Amino acid sequence: MVYSPSDDVSQYQPANLWTSTPEYALTPGYFGRTPESSCSSPEYVSDDHRSTHQQPQAEQLEFLPFADWEEERVYNEQPPVYIHYRIDWKVTLNGKSIAQITEPDLVVRPSEFWQNSLKDAAERFKIRKVDHTRRVRMEDIIVVASVKDRTQQDLRQQDESTKIKWAVIEKQLLMWSNLFRLGKQIKLQVSINYTEDSNAALLRSADKRAATSVTKRMLAERDAQIDGENVSGQASAWRDVFRKIRCPGPPCRNRNGYCWQDPVGKKHYRLLTHHVKRLARLVERGHTFDTHDDMPIEIRNELYAEDQQWQERQHRMSKSPQSQGSGLPININFLPHSPQPPALATPADTPPTLPHSNPDMVDTLLIPDLPLDTAVKEYSCWQQSRVDSHALKDDIEKACDLALTNGLDLRQIHEDKDPEFFIRNGVKVGVARRFVNDIREWLEQL
């Protein structure tokens, strides 16, 4: 509604006489449409204006009630009455920006602007971008309030849209009143983030592939069927759990980046595939898992017990470093070195991977519990989302097809670290290197 001026302007009736005072620059939308306001009495209006609003020079400014706000009007009261700010907002879908809009000058409460305008506008962009067969939900919104002043820190809020603490943001904006009076610009950056249900994404990627050739279409149909049968509900629960178990940060000795931080004692427990699997299953059945405090007791106990065993084993094996790691309760667990030494590799194929000489640096890959080929396809979709050029996207598709045709799964590709295989088969060198090297990066952003 608000963002299609062509609809709105025709309905506009100036509700407020102040539009005619010289203090307000009229926007182009007003030209030739407000003869009655130019007939009103400017003296009366100005006096009224001044008497009501001149005093609060040293006080906080205020927000204009949304009901009184006229979107097309420029509010440039002198001296200022309202706190003015700018919003740069964007809509993202699966992490990619699909719209970026600037609201150069707002005077209403951000919460009201969100509720009455921005939310619908974002939704419209989403609908325009996503056809009705795709299941997309609003993941969260991120709001960063800032003022152009070195002494002031940004204020950041991130939560589900219903839980954002707008009052905190509004209070901060009002507290910047004096800085605004000094001419410092206040800005809100709002990112409204949608995520496509990953099943739908998988089906769509199969569809996209289908367009390329008959054989591929047949394969895609088969894949879509397999995906639909095997993955329903599972992938999204996995994704959700993965996002929430990311390591909360240092100090942490676990290297796979997924931890449970015990609220008591703050110790980090490394989470492995089977933990995540169980957690995802519980979440599917309705268990709430929003923070580390929500870790189910049975998994906690398992983690404590495993940790105990691990400590004991470490103690026993402390004199035979060779065997370290072998007794870990790990589903997917390997050393990061290439099993075939890459001594004969051509210079072009020397990826900047640092070999871990420390034998107890075990590189654990947590791969979602998807069918192996589906995981390769998901990974390929992600790789494609990182490039713009169609040629590169096609090349990633080629690498994906090569992996699938040869039955390679992600763990094997990660272990082999063999871009040469893909290059020999016609994949461009950079694409091939990213394809073999970035699997961990993909897993970490899931």
Q: Which is nearer to Zn ion, 143 or 247 (CB)?
A: 247
End-to-end CA distance of the chain: 34
Q: How far apart are CA 405 and CA 421, in angstroms?
A: 13
Is the separation of the CB atoms in 71 and 56 below 8 Å? no
Q: How far apart are CA 366 and CA 274, in angstroms?
A: 9
Q: Please report whether residue 404 would count as binding Zn ion according to CB under 5 A.
A: no
| Contact range with Zn ion by CB under 5 A, out of 108-116, 195-203, 244-252, 428-436 | 244-252
Q: Which is nearer to Zn ion, 270 or 393 (CB)?
A: 270
Q: Which is nearer to Zn ion, 204 or 244 (CB)?
A: 244
Beta strands in 179-305 (DSSP E): 186-196, 259-261, 268-270
Q: Which residues of 191-226 are buried (b: 16+ CB within 10 A; e: fewer)?
A: bbbbbbbbbbbbbbbbeebbeeeeebeebbeebbee
x/- mask, Zn ion, residues 16-55, rule CB under 5 A, reads ----------------------------------------
Is the separation of the CB atoms in 379 and 335 below 8 Å? no
Q: How far apart are CA 256 and CA 414, in angstroms?
A: 14
Q: Please report whether residue 101 would count as binding Zn ion according to CB under 5 A.
A: no
Interface pick for Zn ion out of 259, 299, 408, 431 (rule CB under 5 A)? 259
| Contact range with Zn ion by CB under 5 A, out of 166-174, 246-254, 318-326, 331-339 | 246-254
Instruction: Tell the smallest beta-carbon distance from residue 187 to Zn ion (Å).
Output: 34
- Specify burial of residue 346 (Cβ count, 10 A radius: 0-12, 13-18, 19+): exposed
Q: Which is nearer to Zn ion, 261 or 380 (CB)?
A: 261
| Contact range with Zn ion by CB under 5 A, out of 120-128, 187-195, 239-247, 341-349 | 239-247
**Residue at token pair 């939900």:** 137
Q: Please report whether residue 244 would count as binding Zn ion according to CB under 5 A.
A: no
- Enumerate residues 6+ apart whose C-beta is below 8 A from 368: 235, 238, 239, 242, 375, 378, 443, 446
| Contact range with Zn ion by CB under 5 A, out of 165-173, 220-228, 257-265, 428-436 | 257-265
Instruction: Tell the smallest beta-carbon distance from residue 250 to Zn ion (Å).
Output: 8
Q: Is 61 helix (H, G, I), strand (E, B) or coil?
A: coil
Q: Please report whether residue 200 would count as binding Zn ion according to CB under 5 A.
A: no
Q: Which is nearer to Zn ion, 85 or 269 (CB)?
A: 269
| Contact range with Zn ion by CB under 5 A, out of 14-22, 63-71, 243-251, 356-364 | 243-251
Of residues 263-282, which lie at the interface with Zn ion (CB under 5 A)?
268
Of residues 299-318, which lie at the interface with Zn ion (CB under 5 A)?
none
Q: Strand 85-93 vs strand 186-196: parallel, antiparallel, or unpaired?
A: parallel
**Residue at token pair 């954002």:** 164
Instruction: Tell the smallest beta-carbon distance from residue 261 to Zn ion (Å).
Output: 7
Q: Please report whether residue 247 would count as binding Zn ion according to CB under 5 A.
A: yes
Q: Which is nearer to Zn ion, 268 or 434 (CB)?
A: 268
Handedness of CA 42, 46, 48, 49 (dihedral sign): positive
Instruction: Tell the smallest beta-carbon distance from residue 437 to Zn ion (Å).
Output: 23
Q: Which is nearer to Zn ion, 254 or 353 (CB)?
A: 254
Q: Please report whether residue 252 would count as binding Zn ion according to CB under 5 A.
A: yes
Instruction: Tell the smallest beta-carbon distance from residue 142 to Zn ion (Å).
Output: 23
Of residues 341-370, which lie at the interface with Zn ion (CB under 5 A)?
none
Q: Which is nearer to Zn ion, 53 or 246 (CB)?
A: 246
Instruction: Tell the smallest beta-carbon distance from residue 347 to Zn ion (Å).
Output: 37
Two structure tokens written together for 107? 């005077």
Closest by alpha carbon to 402, among 388, 383, 423? 423
Cis peptide before 251 (omega within 30 of 0): yes
| Contact range with Zn ion by CB under 5 A, out of 95-103, 112-120, 260-268, 385-393 | 260-268
Q: Which is nearer to Zn ion, 252 or 328 (CB)?
A: 252
CA atoms within 13 A on the CB side of 110: 30
Instruction: Tell the smallest beta-carbon distance from residue 336 to Zn ion (Å).
Output: 19
Beta strands in 153-255 (DSSP E): 155-159, 186-196
Q: How far apart are CA 170 and CA 177, in angstroms?
A: 11
Q: Which is nearer to Zn ion, 205 or 256 (CB)?
A: 256
Q: Report which DSSP code applies to 349.
A: G
Q: Which is nearer to Zn ion, 255 or 428 (CB)?
A: 255
Which residues are at the interface with Zn ion (CB under 5 A)? 247, 252, 254, 259, 268
